[in-house]
Structure 1
């Protein structure tokens, strides 16, 4: 019977403690890197979504100006040519018959990854109208000239999300 005990091997307590210590050190190094990667990916998504919305707003304005130039729409003193709401970019606008159908600029309004909407809610963005001050925190409501994140947090590069 003593010969069978010699062939049986196991892990000693010291080997187990050393292994657990090494795993804990590796986990403490990897976790902050994973958190930073998640923040960085949300920041990239925010940049992309802002660019998509701002490009759609600019394209709407170009189409409006073209319709005025071709006399499809009469110019109005109280209308800047920017969309009245973000939803108008999704629903479309006919520009007085400039195009054969309503011109749509977005399939949907992208969400702000730094200020995600609750399920069933529309995405929320801070907006500025053409008549507002460039650094205004209040939307005048006349039109949508610019959008920004409503998150008050600070980005990895030290800037505020709302200033992007």
Structure 2
């Protein structure tokens, strides 16, 4: 009686059968490591995991400050845009007052009394309609509110106390420092 050994036991490739390449077989040389007696697809070693986590940590440590800088730069751009929008509206109001298209009391600077006057609008002289300067007061991205610091035409340029006579300028109430080293409230 002759004993034949299975091709899997001697490490030979299996004989060609019809349907072998069609996936109807269960033979996979990578599944069994005969010498070690364990699966060759057992996963990552501890060293590989530690090295991978170390590399991932280094990449995260580099990317996080960059991401924070990008967010800060976006807030700065939004602050500049908001300041420009309000200041343009204030300048337009003053221009119309100087051209006598808006009635101004004697002794007034020609700037609006409040920011709400820019929202509500003013009647133009001669009955030619009403002019609005802002649809809404823009939000300060640093304080996340519409509560701006105000300066009057009669206030000192670096004053943080509003005189209340009119609104000549606006600034953020944030005490933080910009990326360029200046204070946001000085913008």
Assess same fold via TM > 0.5. yes
User: 1:12-65 CA distances to partner (integer Å, 9 max, x unpaired)?
Assistant: 111011000000000000000001111111011111111111010000111112
- What residue in structure 1 maps to residue 79 of structure 2? 46
Contact kept? 1:61, 1:81, Cα under 8 Å: yes
Deviation at 1:107, TM superposition (A): 0.8
Q: Unpaired runs of 5+ in structure 1?
A: 118-122
Paired residue secondary structure (2:170): strand
- Comparing 4-13 with 125-134, greater Cα deviation is found at 4-13
User: 1:78-133 CA distances to partner (integer Å, 9 max, x unpaired)?
Assistant: 311101111111111113346x321011110001111112xxxxx11111111111
Pair 1:2–1:31, CA change in 2 (3 A) = closer
Q: Distance in 1 between matches of 2:153 and 2:44?
A: 72
- For the aligned residue pairs, the C-alpha RMSD in angstroms reads 1.8
Pair 1:2–1:161, CA change in 2 (3 A) = closer
Relative contact order: is structure 1 or structure 2 higher (C-alpha 8 Å, sep ≥ 6)?
A: 1
Q: Unpaired runs of 5+ in structure 2?
A: 1-31
How many residue pairs match? The answer is 154
TM-score by length of 2: 0.76
Which of the residues 152, 158, 162 maps onto 2:175?
Answer: 152
Q: Distance in 2 between matches of 1:90 and 1:42?
A: 24
